């Protein structure tokens, strides 16, 4: 291969790698660094972030291990917006008249 072709291939590979990295960086995290997400008891959409090492505030529970949302719109973020949990973190029927 000649030098021009090698440079063209290298440039294309670098561009592809840059685009892939940029796509990952554009994903919005559910919580900032040093925080973890918690789910509100009794409704589908309530959630907040708590500093690492702190307990969830009253009315919130931890997500089950391995089922925590990480990025806005990821599998677990979407799932937890469709269910209601009780004070033990168990999925329960949605109370009538709530969202």
Report pLDDT for 15.
53
- List, for residues 32-77, the tens digit of each pLDDT value: 999 999 999 999 999 999 999 999 999 999 999 999 999 999 999 9
Beta strands per DSSP E along the chain: 35-40, 47-51, 60-62, 84-85, 91-92
Cβ neighbors of 28 (< 8 A, separation 6 or more) are 71, 72
């Amino acid at each position: 291969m000649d030098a021009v072709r090698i440079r063209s291939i290298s440039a294309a590979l670098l561009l592809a790698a840059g685009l892939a990295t940029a796509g990952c960086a554009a994903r919005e995290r559910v919580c900032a660094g040093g925080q973890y997400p918690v789910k509100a008891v009794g409704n589908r959409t309530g959630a907040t972030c708590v500093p690492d090492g702190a307990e969830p505030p009253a009315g919130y529970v931890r997500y089950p291990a391995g089922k925590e949302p990480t990025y806005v719109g990821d599998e677990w973020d979407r799932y937890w917006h469709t269910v209601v949990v009780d004070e033990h973190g168990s999925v329960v029927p949605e109370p009538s008249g709530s969202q």
